[in-house]
Structure 1
Amino acid sequence: MKIWYDVSDLVSWKLPHLTGIQRTTVGILNGLVEQVGDVGLVRYDVKAGRFFALTVAELPASVRCHIRDRAASNVAESETAATVPARVPSGRVASRPDRRRPSRFKMDLFRGTDGEAEELRHAFRQFKTATRQLRKSLSSWVGRRLRTSLRGGGLATPPHAMRDPTLNPLPAQDAATFIAAGDALVSIGATWGMAGHGRAVAAVRGRGVHVVRMIYDLIPTIKPQWLEPAYTRSITAWVRSVLRESDRVLTISEFSRREIERYCQESRFAPPALTVVRLGDVLEGSAAERSPAPLPRFVPGRPFFVCVSTLDVRKNHRLLYDAWTQLAVRRGGRCPDLVCIGTPHLRVADLLHEIGQDRAVNRHIHVLHGIEDSELAWYYANCSASIYPSKYEGWGLPVAESLGQGRMCLASNATSIPEISSDLPEFFDPYDVYALVLLVERVLDEPDWVQARERIIRERFRSTGWQETAAQVLGAITGAARETGAPVWPRLAQQRAAVAPSVVSMQGAKSA
């Protein structure tokens, strides 16, 4: 049996750094390669409607630099790079020797008072966010119009057809014959926007290939108020496809597993076995691996808290704004800074406008994006504490990252977040502004308490490496193969005995 690993969402990756799901995809791939050795890569081609094999060299450079077989060359480069002391007293942006000198046009464009330049930069960021959303909306609208025309005015995917796969026959597909019967296809990336991907997986599975896929959470399906309707419909159809056309479904928390079970019961169909895996939370270039940590591009001039999260309604940055509004009144010039690291997403333009125009807090709240792991490690190492106020999560990786750095974490007590650690974060209700204000002030006013808590965190919290996550994925693959009597590697059988992920079969539970 050979493992084929789906990297479809990495092939067209354009950002200079990896974010949540893509970091997970690469981290598990590195762990699988380390433990198995021979792992084939595949990508889905939308036009051809099938999978193709590819090599690491065909991935973008921003992805290749995180793949294990390129790590050696990166280490050699990092050893020759100049290091900078971990802290500076000023609030200026740290200079970098390799930074290009800005063009004369840019220098003239941003010349003026600090307030004028910041207002212009904020307006430009809002323009980019609005343009990106307009492009998505237009694409969704055109797609709906085309599907309606082709189907004579009917719905693109009638609800009854989604409920029963026998009422929605799949067209014939080229089933990527290089993937042999008895092999395993592992797909854990963001493939829900790829038309026909589910049909290609079904065609491969029909040839006797074991399919293992990942559902991180059901947020778009059961919490549609936070997303665009077209996106909700697309994700819901993808979720149903994953549950129907998989031999085993991975998820990232017991909370998500329970949500999937409940959704399947309400939809009246049984999914395949569910396996919970714990995500890796070790940062590349973290403070533990590199000392001292290099300076980031922006260094706050006051004590600061850090929130690492996409800027989204669900992530609850409104609570942070309200809390800092109170802190500015209560503490005056002693109000700390807040560094929000993440890319703006849906429905936060108005909030960012309020923050930018609010003279009481705009000098204290800083929104950054495009931050590398080495910079992120610096913010964790030098902040007063991290904050994670999310209303709903499938896991909550930044909480684990913060604890892994040995730092105090003020975390929401909602959904899956307490699974990361039930007693090491300082929890608060994500709808209680005053509770968060009191925790922030306690961190600032009681340094001895913070030091004692962080000492306990360093002693008791155990970070999870991506090799451990990959071992759990291997256990799920091996389990799916054994259920069908397919041969597996002898050492994988031993690996499965050593790392036993929780498996729940809805089919078995129903018959029991």
Structure 2
Amino acid sequence: MRVAFDASSIGSGLGGDETMARALVRALVRGAGPDDEIDLLFAAGVQPDVDRASAHVRATVEPRSSGPRHFLRDLPRWVGGLMPTPEVLVSLTHAPCGGGVPVALMVPDLSFEHLGDAFPRPTRLRLRSIVRRQVRRAAGVLTISEFCRSDLISTYGLGSDVVHHVPLHVDPPEHAPQADELDELRRRLDLADPFVLYVGNLHPRKNLPAAVDAVRGARRRCPALADHRFVVAGATWWGSEAHPGGADDWVRFLGRVSDDDRHLLVHAAEALIYPSRFEGFGLPPLEAMARGTPVVASNATSIPEVCGDAALLVDPDDIDGMADALVRATTDDPVRSSLIAAGHRRARHYSVERTAHGLWEALRAIALEPAPIPAPTR
């Protein structure tokens, strides 16, 4: 089977979208059989990180263009020029306008349908208009949790056989960091005190002000946490969000961090807090679990599905409950030990092999009975 994959979002700096693309490419290559062939499209400046020994992989590198130009011109031109013709193209969020290849459209979540006020109006209208239309035109739809699969079926009236669940995976750490690595990180980032960590962008749906209030409450009610900082590792979204928490000097905003620093921060944190109101998957809790860091997370959307019993789950509007959970996760030794053990088990469940199996199973089903490809509109 020949599969094409638009991996041009890798290197874009788009946070979770880029992480998802990397995970899917890795799983696609890992799960390929001896008769499978893969075409990958990367943006210029990105070093393709694929194991070419496990499958026949061809990587094309082209300059990254703007969203409309990419989907209207560059992606159709690339996929239309591939020989032999792929049996299916994997495209993320939006599909190409043309190309003549059945599309497996990855839609990671429908937050723009349910939390419209969290998006700039032009973005909200664009996503609602285009995604609604393209999921019906696609040969099949991929998504990253059972929650999102059900949401796509109910929101857009899609058939249950059209929407396929492909879970993401978390990479186990290659090694536990040495003490000198953590000391150097603390010096470089001025993190002398113990800290609670948030990892992710600052999109309004992430509910970061609630996390600030919860850490503030935990510091006030528990003397053992009075000197803890709250460290936020993630970039603003659309460049418009103000940093919540005002001038509190115990709240540190690091902006986007490198993968290496992210790994060290998660290891060094006393706990990870993840208060999001809407997630298609929610990878940071699993990253924390894989590194032995207790997790406090919201009980909304896909997060309970992903975290299972390995996190303390709280209503995203329950600030007091979130503060209490932080106190337990950081100071109650039996609770902390239980979360760490359960977290390691949960992280192992989300392996790259599981992602690869789900992805290839979905693509083979889509290629076997693809939906008709509508004629391009003029």
Answer yes or no: is 1:278 the counterpart of 2:170: no
Q: Percent same amino acid at aligned positions?
A: 24
In structure 1, stretches of 5+ residues that fail to align are 43-55, 71-138, 144-172, 192-196, 485-512
- The AA in structure 2 aligned to 1:261 is I
Matched residue, 1:185: 89
Answer yes or no: is 1:199 the counterpart of 2:195: no
Change (3 A) 1:292 1:255: same
Q: Secondary structure at the match of 1:314?
A: helix
CA displacement, residues 48-94 of structure 1 (integer Å, 9 cap, x when unaligned): xxxxxxxx6xx444x31644469xxxxxxxxxxxxxxxxxxxxxxxx
8 Å Cα contact 2:271/2:329 also seen in 1: yes
How far apart are residue 459 of structure 1 and its match?
A: 4.6
Matched residue, 2:47: 64
Distance 2:347 2:257 in 1: 25
8 Å Cα contact 1:32/1:467 also seen in 2: no
Match of 2:17 among 4, 18, 21: 21
Distance 2:296 2:357 in 1: 30
Match of 1:376 among 254, 262, 266: 262
Distance 1:349 1:476 in 2: 37
8 Å Cα contact 2:300/2:315 also seen in 1: yes
Change (3 A) 1:467 1:456: closer
How far apart are residue 424 of structure 1 and its match?
A: 1.4
Change (3 A) 1:234 1:39: same
8 Å Cα contact 1:341/1:367 also seen in 2: yes
8 Å Cα contact 1:29/1:470 also seen in 2: no
Q: Secondary structure at the match of 2:245?
A: helix
How far apart are residue 447 of structure 1 and its match?
A: 2.8
Matched residue, 1:482: 368
TM-score, scaled to structure 2: 0.80
Answer yes or no: is 1:230 the counterpart of 2:91: no
- The AA in structure 2 aligned to 1:301 is A
How far apart are residue 441 of structure 1 and its match?
A: 2.1
Describe how 1:397-476 pairs up with structure 2 within 5 A: 397-459=283-345, 461-476=347-362
8 Å Cα contact 2:289/2:346 also seen in 1: no
Which sits farther off after the overlay, 214-223 or 18-27? 18-27
Change (3 A) 1:27 1:270: closer
8 Å Cα contact 1:306/1:341 also seen in 2: yes
How far apart are residue 224 of structure 1 and its match?
A: 0.9
Aligned residue-pair number = 342
Distance 1:182 1:7 in 2: 15
- The AA in structure 2 aligned to 1:185 is L
Q: Secondary structure at the match of 1:391?
A: coil
Distance 2:346 2:124 in 1: 40
Matched residue, 1:303: 194
How far apart are residue 476 of structure 1 and its match?
A: 0.9
Distance 1:349 1:28 in 2: 29
Distance 1:388 1:308 in 2: 8
- The AA in structure 1 aligned to 2:203 is D
Q: Secondary structure at the match of 2:189?
A: coil
Matched residue, 1:254: 146
Q: Secondary structure at the match of 1:302?
A: coil
How far apart are residue 218 of structure 1 and its match?
A: 0.9
Q: Secondary structure at the match of 1:343?
A: coil
Matched residue, 1:40: 39
Distance 2:146 2:342 in 1: 25
Distance 1:322 1:182 in 2: 51
Larger Rg over CA atoms = 1
8 Å Cα contact 1:244/1:271 also seen in 2: no
Q: Secondary structure at the match of 1:462?
A: helix
Distance 2:275 2:346 in 1: 23
- The AA in structure 1 aligned to 2:124 is T
